[in-house]
Amino acid sequence: MEKMLYAIREKFSRISKAIGKAFSGTGLSPNQLSLISIPLALITVALIILQSFWLAALFLIITAFWDLVDGAVARETGKATKFGGYLDGVVDKYVETIIALSLLFVPLPAFFVPAAFWIALYVFGEMNTTYAKAAAVEKGASKTEIRGGILERPERTIILLIGILLASFGLAYLTYIIVILAVLSNVTVLQRILLAHKASLNNRGK
């Protein structure tokens, strides 16, 4: 298992290096590249609202890929900064949230309760997975950021992508995917709270 994870990290490292080389010649700074994610996300939002789901899925993939670009360029050019990491995190949260909120403008069928409830629960969960990670350090419960849980951002993006693609065959499928995201993202928050609690106990023992 350890060898497999090492091989995956090595492969990703090579891909990241190739992306960094490919985009470092644009003349744009890593921070400027980060901000490009926002207009890409807005195009995705517009396509979701227009129910052009195949195109929306394509732009969601492009937006997700672009999230790799700024960091890869920063590492390749030696311009990685703490502020750059901070800005990237804020932009990522804006991107994920506005795409999730765009689902409110799609006439999705209910699943026990109106779809708007599940969308709100999904947004609440995805925002708090990030807060639960950072707050553990901010509040002194842990010395390092809390990571892990069943759904991190890449997994949420992949599941949402599947939902958008399935929406082409019926809006009910997208509702089911949103329900899954709503439930599992909040389960992730609970998992991170438990991890923070464990870290707090360990720190107290020291």
Give the pLDDT confidence of 106-163 residue by residue, as tens digits: 999 999 999 999 999 999 999 988 887 777 766 666 667 777 778 888 899 999 999 9
Last residue of a domain, one of 106, 121, 156: 106
% of the chain exceeding 90 in pLDDT: 49
Domain CATH code at residue 72: 1.20.120.1760
Beta bridge partners of 104: none
Last residue of a domain, one of 58, 75, 106: 106
Residues 204 and 113 in one domain: yes
To the nearest 10°, the Cα dihedral for 90, 95, 99, 102?
70
Question: What pLDDT band is residue 203 in, cutting at 50, 70 and 90?
Answer: low
Note the pLDDT tens digit of each residue in 5-20: 344 445 555 677 777 7
Q: Encoding tokens for residue 130?
A: 């990030």
What is residue 14's predicted lDDT score, i.e. its pLDDT?
A: 66
Q: Which domain holds residue 197?
A: 109-206
Residues 21 and 77 in one domain: yes
Please, is 118 exposed, middle or buried when counting C-beta atoms within 10 Å of its C-beta (0-12, 13-18, 19+)? buried
Residues 1 and 102 in one domain: yes
Do the Cβ atoms of 53 and 103 come closer than 8 Å?
Answer: no
Last residue of a domain, one of 86, 106, 126: 106
* 53/139 Cα distance (integer angstroms): 41
Q: How many helices (H) and strands (E) does the chain have?
A: 8, 0
Query: Structural domain tally of the chain?
Result: 2
Residues 101 and 139 in one domain: no
Residues 9 and 101 in one domain: yes
Residues 128 and 147 in one domain: yes
Q: What count of other Cβ atoms lies within 10 Å of the Cβ of residue 189?
A: 21
Q: What is the pTM (predicted TM-score) of this model? A: 0.87
Do the Cβ atoms of 33 and 23 come closer than 8 Å?
Answer: yes
